[in-house]
Amino acid sequence: MPLTLDDLRGNPGANKDRKRVGRGHGSGRGKTSGRGTKGQNSRAGGGVRWGFEGGQLPIQKRLPYKRGFTNIFKTQWEVVNLSDLAGLPTDEPVTPEVLLAHGVIRGLDHPVKILGDGDVSGPIMVQAHAFSGSAQERITAAGGTTEILERNDKWAQVRPRSRRLPLDRELKAARVGKVGGPSRSDAIAARRNGQSS
């Protein structure tokens, strides 16, 4: 048989009927409309905020020693001290690939940073993504050179999340709400005139 448009059906569960509440007893959700009986959550506009514990001291105040946070945008560095470069060959540039081949770093997924703990015995050329001030000084003092590589890891372009819109940044730069600054409506109108011109 030929296939026609009325033969097309969505997969089971693809389309779900909307819950129609407050439409009388015939809807299957009469009287309380699926809200149960009485109480704060049955009223219009009822409910409590997330984390509310009925008025008792919430957990974030009961556990005051739980401080700080984990920065998910923190750059994970492969840290290498000058003392780790002692056994490496000095006739070729020390690159992240050379450090990986000699087991100094764990991999090439993270950028490499050279720190100044240790001494440099001779002139050496080091290529890394970052250097501390003391490491750069000691390598240069020993007659070596340093070269900063361009980072291409996934942490190079990451930026912290921000709820501030570009418009809010422009209004803040225009000193909206400050003493002697324009009102929000005037600043937005001036911005529109500037964009149209």
Digits of tens for pLDDT over the chain (197 positions)? 788 999 998 899 999 888 888 899 988 898 999 999 999 999 999 999 999 999 999 988 888 777 788 887 888 899 999 999 988 887 889 999 999 999 999 989 899 999 999 988 889 999 999 999 999 999 999 999 999 999 988 777 766 665 556 777 788 888 888 888 898 888 888 888 877 66
**C-alpha to C-alpha distance for 153 and 193, rounded to whole angstroms:** 41
CATH 3.100.10.10 corresponds to the domain 59-161: yes
List the strands of the sheet with 112-115, edge to edge. Answer: 78-81, 112-115, 130-131
- Please state, in angstroms and as integers, the Cα–Cα distance from residue 76 to each residue in 13, 16, 20, 68, following that order: 43, 45, 51, 19
Numbered ranges of CATH 3.100.10.10 in the chain: 59-161
Q: How far is CA 51 from the centre of its chain?
A: 24
First-to-last CA distance in the chain? 63
